[in-house]
C-alpha cells in the first residue's frame, strides 16, 4: 500500500527555512536536500535551481487571479507541497512559504540526486547522464516520484514521506556562486527579467537546467 502524504504541521526547522517572502526563501533553498520516500525506497535531491512566485502580486504565478481547485495548496501555510500538472503530462513541485492565505511558493527547478541513485535512474530511463536525472522541474518531480497525489502534503521530519533539510553549516553554496535572473518560460509581464529576476541557481553546477525564454503568445508557459 502506498504511503499516504502527511498533513501534520511541518517541524520547526522546516518552518524556519520556508517562512518569509519567496524571493528570500529561494536562495536559502539552494543546497537544501529534499527527500521523497515511498514503497520503492527513497530519493534525495540536492537543490541547485529554484524560482520564486508571489501569488496575487505576480503575473507569472498560478495564483495571480485567485484561488482555484488546482492552486488551492499555494494558499496553505509554509511547509505545504504544491504539485501541478503541466502540458497534461508533466508534474512540477513547489514548496509553499509564508503564512496561510498569501499564495507564496518556490518552484523547484533542478537538483542533483545524492541518494537513491538507482531508483532515480529507473524512474528516468531516458536520462543520458546522472546530471540529467533532475535537471528541470518535470525531471526533478519524476526522479522523486511525486505526482498530484502529493499535492497538499506537508513536509515532515525523519520518517515522513516528504522531508527537506537545509544545508549543513559550511556545506551550502558560496554566496558568490548564487545567481539570479528571469524565470524560465514565463510569458507576459511576469517574464520581465528587470521586474522579476526571481530565478536563483548555483553558478557552474552541471545540474542547473538550460535557460529557456518565454514561449510565444498563445502557448502555455511552464508555470
% residues pLDDT > 70 (the chain): 87
Using 50, 70 and 90 to split pLDDT, how confident is the model at 129? very high
Per the DSSP assignment, residues forming a β-bridge with 38 are 41
DSSP state at residue 168: P
Helix (H) or strand (E) holding 27: helix 22-29
Give the separation between CA 157 and CA 106, rounded to whole angstroms. Answer: 20
Instruction: Write down the residue that cell numbers 498560478 correspond to.
Output: 62
Per the DSSP assignment, residues forming a β-bridge with 44 are 35, 115
**Domain boundaries defined on the chain:** 12-154+175-202
- pTM (predicted TM-score): 0.88
Give the separation between CA 199 and CA 39, rounded to whole angstroms. Answer: 33
Percentages (nearest 5) of helix, strand, coil residues in the chain: 20, 25, 50
Specify whether domain 12-154+175-202 bears CATH 3.10.300.10: yes
Taking only the tens place, the pLDDT of each residue in 150-176 is: 999 999 866 689 999 998 777 789 989
Alpha helices in 71-217 (DSSP H): 117-123, 137-144
Give the separation between CA 73 and CA 80, rounded to whole angstroms. Answer: 7
Sign of the torsion angle spanned by Cα atoms 218, 126, 120, 17:
negative
Taking only the tens place, the pLDDT of each residue in 187-209 is: 665 556 667 899 999 999 999 99
Give the separation between CA 215 and CA 209, rounded to whole angstroms. Answer: 16
Amino acid at each position: 500500500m502506498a504511503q499516504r502524504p502527511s498533513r501534520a504541521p511541518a517541524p520547526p526547522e522546516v518552518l524556519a527555512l520556508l517562512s518569509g517572502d519567496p524571493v528570500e526563501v529561494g536562495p536559502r533553498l539552494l543546497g537544501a536536500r529534499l527527500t521523497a520516500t515511498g514503497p520503492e525506497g527513497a530519493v534525495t535531491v540536492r537543490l541547485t535551481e529554484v524560482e520564486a512566485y508571489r501569488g496575487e502580486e505576480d503575473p507569472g504565478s498560478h495564483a495571480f487571479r485567485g484561488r482555484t481547485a488546482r492552486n488551492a495548496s499555494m494558499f496553505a501555510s509554509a511547509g505545504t507541497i504544491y504539485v501541478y500538472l503541466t502540458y497534461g503530462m508533466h508534474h512540477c513541485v513547489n514548496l509553499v512559504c509564508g503564512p496561510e492565505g498569501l499564495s507564496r511558493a518556490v518552484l523547484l527547478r533542478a537538483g542533483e540526486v545524492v541518494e537513491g541513485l538507482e531508483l532515480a535512474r529507473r524512474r528516468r530511463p531516458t536520462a543520458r547522464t546522472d546530471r540529467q536525472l533532475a535537471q528541470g522541474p518535470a525531471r526533478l518531480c519524476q526522479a522523486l516520484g511525486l505526482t498530484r497525489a502529493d499535492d497538499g502534503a506537508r513536509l515532515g521530519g525523519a520518517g515522513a514521506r516528504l522531508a527537506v533539510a537545509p544545508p549543513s553549516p559550511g556545506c551550502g553554496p558560496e554566496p558568490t556562486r548564487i545567481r539570479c535572473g528571469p524565470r524560465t518560460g514565463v510569458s507576459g509581464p511576469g517574464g520581465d527579467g528587470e521586474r522579476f529576476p526571481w530565478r536563483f541557481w548555483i553558478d557552474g553546477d552541471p545540474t542547473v537546467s538550460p535557460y529557456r525564454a518565454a514561449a510565444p503568445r498563445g502557448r502555455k508557459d511552464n508555470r
